Structure 1
Amino acid sequence: MNRPLRFHSLLRLFLALLALTLTLLSTAHAGVMTRDALKSIYPSPYQVGEKDAALPVWPVFRQNATETQLVGYVFESMDLAPIPGFSGVPANLLILLDAKGNFLDVRVLSQHEPVFLEGLGPAPLDAFVAQYRGLSLTDSVRIDTPPRAGGKREGGAVHLDGVAKATASVRIINQSVLSSALKVARAKLGFSGASDPDRVARVNTEVLETRTLAQLEAEGMVAHQALTNAQVEAAYAGSDGEGLDAVAKAEPQALFSEAYIALASVPSIGRNLLTEAAWKRLSDRLEPGDHALLVFYRGRYGVIGEDFTAGTVPDRLLIKQSGLNIEMRDLDLELKPRESALAGMSMRVFRVIAQAGLDPAQPLDVTLLVRRSKGVIYPERIDRAFHTALRLPTRFVVLPPEADGGWSAPWRARWPELALLAAGLAVLAIALARQRALTANARRFAWFRQGYLLFTAIFIGWYAQGQLSIVNITGALQALREGRGLGFLLYDPMTVSLWAFVLVSLVVWGRGTFCGWLCPFGALQEFVGKAAHALRIPQLRLSRAADARLKLIKYGVLAAIIGSVFLSTALTDSLVEAEPFKTAITLGFVRSWPFVLYAVLLLAASAFVYKAFCRYLCPFGAGLALLGRMRLFNWLPRRAECGQPCQTCRHRCDYGAIERDGRVRYDECFQCMDCVVIYHSDAQCAPRILEKKRARVVPIRAVEKL
């Protein structure tokens, strides 16, 4: 039994449900740390110093008897690695890193991840980041989902417990922690800017080949730099440093500087250039992962200055990778060369610690700085740099496995799910492209549709967590508004894959492909509506005018949410809860009771008003309806008689998407294809029934004569 329902009554019902959601939500506020706030977090015996002028970090000290020791640096991840989460806003973490690159403390200051705001709540995220305490930047971090044994070391990696239903979010958090910590380590602790220490190749210590100095030089494993006075003078031509070197002017072809430079920590280099005893002495001074830069030099300009202090950083020699400096320190070792050609030369060996991230598989730029001074009281210094390169053949290095921290890891880990999703989307695309064959048999089509909606609800929704949402749009807008990229979306391969298909389908078929076939919450509503019909629950049939007015509500909700993106992140976090997707699909109704009640009420409403939320309140559906105006085809078949005079499809359309004149409103069409089934049915389509009647031949029997 269908009952007319007044527009204002239903409008009040939906506004009341929306108000219930918004008034029960909490908001999160991000804050910026101050020195006083940090003092309260790290009280005595710790002392928080003044904020660094060049880098947004605070040094932390500890009083030890009469000596004040540097403990490390504390900083906020948002200042150094603002990687957006799925709300488009980066999480902000407070990180305390010690002077050796170990995590002393990691805690959440603020976050806007939808799954952690409510539902799971903040506790699982707090527990996740707490696992970093005691780890080092030299540790290779792996995130296990489902969790297994947090902090367990296995195969050279440390395994952290992930968070079920929040896999992509914790990967973004992990990237924020490591990226921000590495920036501090590079700037303050001597780490290299070229590579993450966990993502560099290692020297292959199993390979040992006998080579002469000439052979090593020919293969690029030893860099040979020889400069004459004339070459150096030419570099100063036209500058204030030109002509300041009297010796260079007097003897232009004489040797200025000559050096042989090599990574002696590579066995095939060090053991060929040094005696066995010298090689052993060097090896004993190196920790695992360390590198040793061996330099033999001669000439009137050496690689160290006259006032150089042993054990410190060289003042004339620099090494760089990817354009960024790598710190090295003198080992103060005297090592005897094996090669006679090196016997008369001076020698220094410099150590590069493993944490610096030097990658032996990548080219290494070695720079000799030459400095001239002009003036006496306040001399002007004029520098020139002379470069040479080192590169190891690949047989001498072991390339690292792909790191777990980047966005490619979840794509590889979820390839079986992505393959199944691709197969499902291919089936749907073929079905929509061959609609006549699909809808020729009404019973077969009904089974296909219900089966596909089960696939959508169970696999895409609950299992693969592929529910598209207005949060995807607000997150992208917030990221773009703040000048960040959209790379954070790549951490959720299911969402990206679905979006790619939906964007194509918007152009070909319109918004109904997602709303009618690929929305898990929409599938749940349809099941509720079908069950209500089977149970003969009375349906509330709206008037055409009321239906049209109610459909405008979702555009108002969409406008409010989009507008909030430019006003307040906290407001956006609240407004997006107009969608029940996170409660019903992402969290499987495991959430605080107000949110569960809201989602259940919306599903229950579908028992009386078919897919009420989708038609009247869904902001994501409103957004897709607007984007669906890019549609290129009117692909649903129509007859000349549709609407004039036949009204069968219009009366049977549960979405009210067919006008009185027979036109289909694609912005309100959910592609249930019931009208297509009717169109091809000889038993349901009135024009086809009439055509068959007109074509029927009535046999005339002869009348028997009496």
Structure 2
Amino acid sequence: MRFFFVSIFAALLLAHPAQAGTLERAGMEKNFPPPLVVGERDDRLPIWPILKQEAGSYEVVAYAFESIDFARIPGFGGTAPNLLIALAPDGTFRDAKVIAHHEPVFLEGLGSEPLFAFVEQYVGLSARQPIRVGRPNARGSGAAPATTVDGISMATASTRVINETMLAASLAVAREKLGFGAVNAGLRVEAKPDVEPLSLAELERRGWIKRWRIAPAEVDAAFAGTGLADPDPGPPDEPFAALTLAYLNVPSIGRAILGEAAQARLMREIGPGGHAVLVISSGRWSPIPEDFLLGSVPERLTIQQGGLTVNARDAAWERRDLAPDLAAGPWTLLKIGDAAGFDPSAPWSLSVKVTRERGQIFPEKVAREIATEYRLPPELFTREVPDDGPSWTDSWRARGVELGIIAAALGLLVPVLARQDALVAQPRPFGLFRLGFLAFTLGFVGWYAQAQLSIVTLVGAARALFQTGDFGFLLYDPPSLLIWGFVLATLVVWGRGTFCGWLCPFGALQEFFAFFAKPLRIRQITVPPRLDRALRQVKYAVLAAILLAAALGSPLADGFSEIEPFKTAITLYFVRSWPFVLYAVGLLALNLFVYKGFCRYLCPLGAGLALAGRLRLLDWIPRRAECGSPCQLCKVRCRYGAIEPSGQIDYPECFQCMECVTIIGDPHQCVPQVLAAKRGKHLVPQPVAAE
């Protein structure tokens, strides 16, 4: 025991600082090989621009960074995963890879390949959209929206931590480089239905219909320094291009241009949250060429807001006559989907792309963009920012049914254990109840809800305590957190036994395996008392070694934690490499000879709970003066060896099976009661404080 506390003290003195990004230029160049070029790292932040040569110049195609530098969200190994993320200028993920992680379910469990594949799903998605983790294979079946990534069975909590890391780090970089990270994802802005009939002239006067004339001199200025003059300048008083833009969702604008019926039909077609922008062209150059394809994304027109390109495509709207004053040339009606994060109540811009060529044999194209701003009064719109709460709340909503069932089971367990004169006093009904509850613990809590408590959580807590200071990872596994809360509460009342005897799925599996000992005619071994006392100390040494390694930031903590077979037998359903399966099966086989030998001698989580259980407030198991001398029945029946020869209860080793409570309350089993009955007396058991 002394070794345990000395080890923890040493960990406090030697704890390592938090980790930072590990990739320098060579590492970045390895991940972004030619024709991509890694630019100079940002002066203020660890962000690397990734460049590609376009039309004789280098353009930024992505910003690369490590998530650990921007979002240290501890996973279930207690340390934050580190991801390599490349964010394109439009906010989409160009690349996403796992650099390092300590997620227990993937380390020597499922293997890291499923995690790598999970992260790769983000490529092509946009950081501007709220991305959620769905069910496994939901995207492949078409059951999930485009902003959902497939989850991984048996790794729900870990994938949610990865998702939060991906989005938090990306939005932090986007705020610095792309100008949109501060905007709330999922913002819904809609035009008010109030209609103020206005003429086209009045709309134009107010700037709600914007006329944009691009002069030839403005275009020439954009190409300054390229040596490309306009080959056909045209008359000096003629504009290079003349465009008209209007946002049609506002009824006063849309109805004046399309008419009331057509505007209503357009709103139905673009759907809730969609937006429609009209662009009409006139002049000698048009951004809408003759071969423009309806329904396509215009190559020469771009809508931008907050420094980002907004995904917009032609709505394939039926070409009918517009208002005569507007229908001066080719036009397009651009549709913006609700997932684009477009805010029509804030300023946005329309840019046109003009391309010129130089050279004859191998002509080189040079493109330049010219933009104009468009804005409408915010009073024309209603704004709704959904308050979904922190990302971990998704886990609680998604697992509400499981939480309700587990909470109901825990609510049933408390009165059964507390009222010793009720169900516990009836050997056969209580025995059936215990078997049923253990089956629930193994089948539902363990294999279905994946809520097996583990030393891995304590490892994560130790790493968070000494390295990150962030315990938020616990919130991503609500069933386990619910059971943890219950176990900690019952520790101060009953001690370790409530979890180890009732709520540990692997412990329940061992109890069921023990039933095979009798039909197999296996006689269980009684460990000699001296050896038994020595073996019980092993679990405390194991606990100290694991927590010390975790506090020091050593990866040995993950290896030491494998002394638990929980991951193999419960989390992964024995689907694992053969050494781990052989070890777990071996412990179950040992259980046939030495009842719950793992729990009594090796389990580090049991050791931690036994230590904390010393804070219990009650010596709640009733004892008699005759217990231990002369009666030894409870001691002989206790398969955990938790009753001393004196009759006292060794609470740190008690698994709360309640068999001794049942015996002492049964006048047909309790020897002092049997003898007293023969003498015509009645005995009442009383709790006896441990020495």
Task: Tell me the residue number matched to 1:485.
Answer: 470
**How is 1:484-523 mapped onto 2 (pairs within 5 angstroms)?**
484-523=469-508
Aligned mates of 1:37, 1:493 — CA distance in 2: 38
Q: TM-score, normalised by structure 1?
A: 0.69
Aligned mates of 1:151, 1:84 — CA distance in 2: 32
1:205-245 per-residue CA deviation (whole Å, 9 max, x = no partner) reads: 3x3214799xxxxxxxxxxxxxxxxxxxxxxxxxxxxxxxx
Aligned mates of 1:328, 1:211 — CA distance in 2: 32
Task: Tell me the residue number matched to 1:149.
Answer: 139
SS of residue in 2 equivalent to 1:186: helix
Contact preservation (8 Å) 2:644, 2:650: yes
Question: Is the counterpart of residue 424 in structure 1 residue 409 in structure 2?
Answer: yes
Deviating more after overlay: 161-170 vs 554-563: 161-170
Task: Tell me the residue number matched to 2:175.
Answer: 186
SS of residue in 2 equivalent to 1:68: strand
Once the two structures are aligned, what percentage of the paired residues are identical?
50
What is the Cα deviation at residue 466 of structure 1?
0.6
What is the Cα deviation at residue 83 of structure 1?
1.1
What amino acid is the match of 1:161? D
Aligned mates of 1:185, 1:31 — CA distance in 2: 18
Task: Tell me the residue number matched to 2:38.
Answer: 48
Task: Tell me the residue number matched to 1:91.
Answer: 81
1:393-432 per-residue CA deviation (whole Å, 9 max, x = no partner) reads: 9x824554848x8111121111111111011111111111
Deviating more after overlay: 506-515 vs 471-480: 471-480
Task: Tell me the residue number matched to 2:100.
Answer: 110
- Relative to structure 1, is the Cα distance of residues 355 and 535 closer, same or farther in structure 2, using a 3 angstrom cutoff? closer
Deviating more after overlay: 105-114 vs 433-442: 433-442
Contact preservation (8 Å) 2:128, 2:340: no
Deviating more after overlay: 124-133 vs 511-520: 124-133
Matched positions, count: 536
Contact preservation (8 Å) 1:195, 1:359: no
SS of residue in 1 equivalent to 2:475: helix
What amino acid is the match of 1:173? I
**How is 1:276-355 mapped onto 2 (pairs within 5 angstroms)?**
none
What is the Cα deviation at residue 116 of structure 1?
0.7
- Relative to structure 1, is the Cα distance of residues 603 and 290 closer, same or farther in structure 2, using a 3 angstrom cutoff? same
Aligned mates of 2:308, 2:158 — CA distance in 1: 37
Kindly report the root-mean-square deviation, in angstroms, between the aligned alpha carbons of the 2 structures: 3.9
Deviating more after overlay: 145-154 vs 493-502: 145-154
What amino acid is the match of 1:132? Y
Any gaps of 5 or more consecutive residues in structure 2?
1-18, 199-245, 267-272, 278-304, 310-335, 348-376, 683-691
SS of residue in 2 equivalent to 1:100: coil
Question: Is the counterpart of residue 127 in structure 1 residue 117 in structure 2?
Answer: yes
Question: Is the counterpart of residue 200 in structure 1 residue 179 in structure 2?
Answer: no
Aligned mates of 1:180, 1:67 — CA distance in 2: 29
Question: Is the counterpart of residue 589 in structure 1 residue 578 in structure 2?
Answer: no
Q: 1:626 aligns with which of 611, 629, 635?
A: 611
Task: Tell me the residue number matched to 1:375.
Answer: none
Aligned mates of 1:291, 1:79 — CA distance in 2: 39
1:653-698 per-residue CA deviation (whole Å, 9 max, x = no partner) reads: 111111122111111100011101110112221110111010189x
Q: 2:382 aligns with which of 396, 421, 427?
A: 396
What is the Cα deviation at residue 149 of structure 1?
2.5
Aligned mates of 2:252, 2:308 — CA distance in 1: 18
Question: Is the counterpart of residue 160 in structure 1 residue 149 in structure 2?
Answer: yes
Task: Tell me the residue number matched to 1:371.
Answer: none
Aligned mates of 1:67, 1:440 — CA distance in 2: 85
Q: TM-score, normalised by structure 2?
A: 0.71
Contact preservation (8 Å) 1:30, 1:92: no
Question: Is the counterpart of residue 692 in structure 1 residue 682 in structure 2?
Answer: no
Contact preservation (8 Å) 1:657, 1:664: yes
**How is 1:492-641 mapped onto 2 (pairs within 5 angstroms)?**
492-641=477-626
Aligned mates of 2:609, 2:60 — CA distance in 1: 55
Contact preservation (8 Å) 1:119, 1:587: yes
Aligned mates of 1:536, 1:514 — CA distance in 2: 30
Task: Tell me the residue number matched to 1:655.
Answer: 640
What amino acid is the match of 1:467? Q
Contact preservation (8 Å) 2:416, 2:424: no
Contact preservation (8 Å) 1:192, 1:356: no
What is the Cα deviation at residue 601 of structure 1?
0.7
What is the Cα deviation at residue 123 of structure 1?
0.9
- Relative to structure 1, is the Cα distance of residues 152 and 75 closer, same or farther in structure 2, using a 3 angstrom cutoff? farther
What amino acid is the match of 1:182? L
SS of residue in 2 equivalent to 1:541: coil
Contact preservation (8 Å) 1:137, 1:355: no
SS of residue in 2 equivalent to 1:546: helix
Question: Is the counterpart of residue 61 in structure 1 residue 51 in structure 2?
Answer: yes
Aligned mates of 1:94, 1:500 — CA distance in 2: 35
Task: Tell me the residue number matched to 1:670.
Answer: 655
